[in-house]
Amino acid sequence: MIKTKRGKDMLLYDGFTYTQNRMCKDGMRWQCSYPKCRAYCRMSSAGWLTPYKTHHDHEKPSEKQIKKKILSMELKARAQSSGATPGEILRNALPAEEYESTDQRASYTRCIQRYRKALKRKNT
């Protein structure tokens, strides 16, 4: 389970991402997060996941895109809970060799800064 940009739950199943659609008698319905895709699945109250419409109108997101989304969520959580600098947060979130090789350090740093700025606006 990961979070959307707006803090809602996002389900990662079989390489696709789903967002909560609505509550049903037997659990929760999850809709594919890709615009206009009609694929969905249901999660029962007991936690069982049942795919219903499994045909997607698009390709699966790449492994790299999914890892990027998970890292972004993790960075935001760390930014909210700690007062460390964006560089320290990024260094602690990534393995050393990945931190040195990534060309997106500046992008992740800006992401943390924007998130903190939005939190300040929200709290005032």
Contact 26/20 with Cβ under 8 angstroms? Answer: no
In terms of Cβ atoms closer than 10 Å to its own Cβ (0-12, 13-18, 19+), residue 51 is middle
pTM recorded for the entire structure? 0.68
Backbone angles phi, psi at 69, to 5 degrees: -65, -40
3 pLDDT more than 80:
no
Q: DSSP character for 43?
A: E
pLDDT digits (tens, 9 = 90+) for 51-106: 888 888 899 888 888 888 888 888 888 888 888 888 888 888 887 777 777 777 88
**CA 119 – CA 124 distance, rounded (Å):** 9
Mean pLDDT of 40-58: 85
Percent of the chain past pLDDT 70, that is, above it, reads 99
Quick one: pLDDT at residue 32?
A: 92
Residue 49: CB atoms within 10 Å: 15
Residues with Cβ within 8 Å of 92's Cβ and at least 6 positions away in sequence, in order, are 78, 84
Residues with Cβ within 8 Å of 40's Cβ and at least 6 positions away in sequence, in order, are 18, 21, 29, 30, 31, 32, 52, 53
Mean pLDDT of 22-46: 88
Residue whose token pair is 């999850």: 30
110 pLDDT more than 80:
yes
